[in-house]
C-alpha cells in the first residue's frame, strides 16, 4: 500500500480523534448532531477577499436602513418604510490545532466577541433560543479563562431571559429575538433599565425594524433608489446589487389597472398563485419579528408544492401582511462541492457531494468591521435548503493556498 496514502489515513484519524476529544461534555448545540470532517472547508483568496469586503458593505447597508427608518418616522422619507458564535469559535480553536489557515485563527471569534463587550456581559438567552445555550456557555467560559480583568465571580455569564434581573453597570448581550418578548416577562426590568434609566447597555440594540427581511425588498424599490445610492455610494450600491437577491414584498394593496409587479409582470399577487410549477422556482419567506422568521421555519419553495398548497401559502401571506409580512425571492441552487466526512455506520471516511452555506461572522471593532470566522454548512445535494444538523457537515472555513 502506498506510504503517502497510509500517512493521510493516519492524519485524518488523528484529526478526528482530536475533534472528538475537544468536544465539551455539555455539547455545543442542545440535542443536535452533525457529521464530523477532518478537513476545514477551503475558500480561494478571491472569495476570501470578497467576504472580508462584504462585512463593511453590509455594515454600511444596515446603517442606511436605520437612517431610512428614522427619516421615515420624521416624515422626511415615505411613511410606509417598516421595520453559532460559540460553535464557530470552538470549531476555529479545534481545527487550528492542526491547520494554520483557518479564517480568523484559533481565537478570532473570542476576540471579536470580547471587542463588543470588553468588560464582560450577561449573555441572556430565551427558551426559544435554548438550543444555542451550550455553545454560549462554552464561549463565556473561554472568555473568562483568557480575561485580563480583575478576578471576580465571572465576567461573562449565561443566564435565562425569563427571570433575568439587571445589574447596574453590566452589559447585556441578548440572545433572543424581539418577537419573543411576550414570552419572557422577566425581561421588562432589563428593558426599562436600558432604555429609560440607562443603568445597563443591551447589544444588539432593541430595534425590531432591523430584524426584518423586507429590507431586501426595500433595497430594490425604485422610489428608494436615489436614497440607497446616496447613503451607500455608487460603488457599494452596485456591489450590494450583486449580493442581495431581487426580492418582492407581498403587499395586498391593489395596483392601478395599468401597473404590474416588476420582473414578474403580473398585476395581482394572486396571479403568482397560478404560475406553473416550472415558473414557481420562488421562495416565500416570513420577513421577521415572528417565530417563523429565523432558521428554515418560515421558508416555502413554490416548485416543491402542489398548485393548491402554493395558492394557500400566497393567500396566507397576503392575509397576514399587517402582522407578519412575507417576501418573495428567486430560488438559486448553490454550486456542488465534495467534502470528506466520517461515516459512523461504516466506520469509514467518505466523500459527500453537497451544497454549501457560508456563514461569515463580522464584528465591529473600534469602527472597523473584521471577519473573525466563517462557518461552512455542507448539506447533501438532494436537500433544497442548506439547514439541519444530522445530515450536514459543519466545519470552519480556511484559506486555500
Sheet holding 326-330, edge to edge: 247-249, 326-330, 282-286, 299-301
Residues near 57 by beta carbon (within 8 Å), at least 6 away in sequence? 232, 236, 239, 240, 243
Residue whose C-alpha is closest to residue 71's, from 63, 81, 59: 81
- Report pLDDT digits (tens) over 299-352: 889 998 999 999 999 999 999 998 889 999 998 888 899 999 999 888 899 999
Q: Which domains does the chain have, with CATH numbers?
A: 246-330 (3.30.1490)
DSSP string, 50-105: HHHHHHHHHHHHHHHHHHHHHHHHTTSS-TT----HHHHHHHHHHHTTT-TTBTTT
162 within 8 A of 127, measured Cβ to Cβ? yes
**Does the pLDDT of residue 106 top 90, yes or no?**
yes
Residue 359 — pLDDT band, cuts 50, 70, 90?
very high
- Cα-to-chain-centroid distance, residue 10: 35
Q: How long a stretch of residues is the chain?
A: 401
- Report pLDDT digits (tens) over 43-65: 999 999 999 999 999 999 999 99
First to last CA, the chain: 28
Percent of the chain at pLDDT exceeding 70: 92
27 within 8 A of 384, measured Cβ to Cβ? no
Q: What is the dihedral of CA 289, 110, 45, 62, to 10 degrees?
A: 30
- For 281, the grid coordinates are 422556482
- Cα-to-chain-centroid distance, residue 239: 20
Amino acid at each position: 500500500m502506498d506510504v503517502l496514502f497510509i500517512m493521510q489515513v493516519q492524519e485524518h484519524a488523528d484529526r478526528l480523534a482530536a475533534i472528538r476529544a475537544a468536544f465539551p461534555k455539555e455539547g455545543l448545540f442542545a440535542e443536535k448532531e452533525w457529521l464530523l470532517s477532518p478537513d476545514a472547508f477551503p475558500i480561494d483568496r478571491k472569495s476570501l477577499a470578497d467576504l472580508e469586503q462584504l462585512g463593511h458593505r453590509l455594515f454600511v447597508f444596515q446603517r442606511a436602513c436605520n437612517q431610512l427608518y428614522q427619516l421615515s418616522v420624521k416624515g422626511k422619507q415615505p411613511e410606509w418604510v417598516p421595520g453559532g458564535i460559540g460553535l464557530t469559535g470552538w470549531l476555529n480553536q479545534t481545527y487550528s490545532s492542526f491547520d494554520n489557515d483557518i479564517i480568523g485563527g484559533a481565537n478570532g471569534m473570542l476576540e471579536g466577541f470580547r471587542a463588543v463587550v470588553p468588560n464582560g456581559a450577561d449573555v441572556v438567552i430565551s427558551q426559544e433560543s435554548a438550543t444555542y445555550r451550550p455553545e454560549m456557555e462554552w464561549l463565556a467560559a473561554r472568555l473568562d479563562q483568557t480575561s485580563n480583568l480583575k478576578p471576580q465571580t465571572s465576567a461573562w455569564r449565561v443566564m435565562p431571559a425569563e427571570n433575568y434581573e439587571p445589574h447596574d453597570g453590566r452589559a447585556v448581550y441578548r440572545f433572543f429575538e424581539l418577537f419573543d418578548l411576550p414570552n419572557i416577562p422577566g425581561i421588562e426590568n432589563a428593558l426599562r433599565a436600558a432604555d429609560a434609566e440607562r443603568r445597563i447597555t443591551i447589544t444588539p440594540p432593541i430595534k425590531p425594524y432591523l430584524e426584518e427581511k423586507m429590507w431586501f425588498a426595500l433595497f430594490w424599490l425604485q422610489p428608494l433608489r436615489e436614497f440607497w445610492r446616496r447613503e451607500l455610494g455608487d460603488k457599494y450600491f452596485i456591489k450590494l446589487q450583486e449580493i442581495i437577491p431581487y426580492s418582492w414584498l407581498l403587499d395586498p394593496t391593489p395596483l392601478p389597472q395599468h401597473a404590474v409587479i416588476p420582473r414578474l409582470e403580473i398585476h395581482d399577487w394572486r396571479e403568482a398563485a397560478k404560475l406553473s410549477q416550472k415558473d414557481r422556482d420562488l421562495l416565500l419567506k416570513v420577513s421577521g419579528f415572528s417565530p417563523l422568521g429565523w432558521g428554515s421555519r418560515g421558508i416555502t419553495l413554490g416548485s416543491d408544492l402542489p398548485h393548491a398548497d402554493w395558492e394557500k401559502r400566497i393567500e396566507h401571506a397576503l392575509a397576514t401582511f399587517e402582522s407578519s409580512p412575507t417576501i418573495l425571492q428567486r430560488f438559486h441552487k448553490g454550486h456542488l462541492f465534495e467534502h470528506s466526512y466520517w461515516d459512523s455506520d461504516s466506520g469509514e471516511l467518505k466523500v459527500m457531494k453537497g451544497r454549501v452555506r457560508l456563514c461569515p461572522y463580522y464584528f465591529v471593532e473600534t469602527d472597523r468591521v473584521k471577519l473573525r470566522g466563517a462557518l461552512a454548512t455542507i448539506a447533501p445535494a438532494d436537500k433544497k435548503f442548506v439547514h439541519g444538523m444530522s445530515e450536514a457537515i459543519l466545519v470552519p472555513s480556511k484559506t486555500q493556498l
